């Protein structure tokens, strides 16, 4: 179970890093940063980042569960 947890943790970190990079690229682009509805777009990216964090925490929980068995 610990090995699966490590893989899930890595996937979660990858999702979070992707969300951060997409948010950074979106807000630094002159065309996209001038869009009026940047708040809802940023919330979407933040939701993507939080999804990655929750997946990563699930992986940590599986690792801890696997070490206790």
CB 5 within 8 A of CB 38: no
Per-residue pLDDT averaged across 13-18, rounded?
Answer: 90
How many structural domains comprise the chain? Answer: 1
Closest CA to 18 of 53, 43, 58, 68: 53
Q: What is the mean pLDDT of residues 42-50?
A: 85
Per-residue confidence (pLDDT) for residue 54, from 0 to 100: 92
The pLDDT of residue 26 is 77
Measured from the Cβ of residue 6, the count of other Cβ atoms closer than 10 Å reads 15
Task: Please give the angle made by the CA atoms of 37, 20 and 25, to the nearest 5 degrees.
Answer: 60
* pTM, two decimal places: 0.76
Average pLDDT over residues 32-47: 74
- Give the integer Cα–Cα distance in Å for 4 and 27: 35
């Amino acid at each position: 179970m610990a090995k699966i947890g490590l893989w899930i943790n890595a996937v979660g970190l990858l999702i979070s890093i992707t969300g951060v990079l997409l948010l950074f690229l979106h807000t630094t682009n002159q065309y996209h940063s001038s869009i009026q509805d940047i708040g809802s777009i940023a919330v979407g990216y933040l939701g993507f980042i939080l999804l990655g964090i929750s997946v990563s925490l699930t992986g940590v929980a599986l690792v801890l569960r696997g070490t206790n068995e």
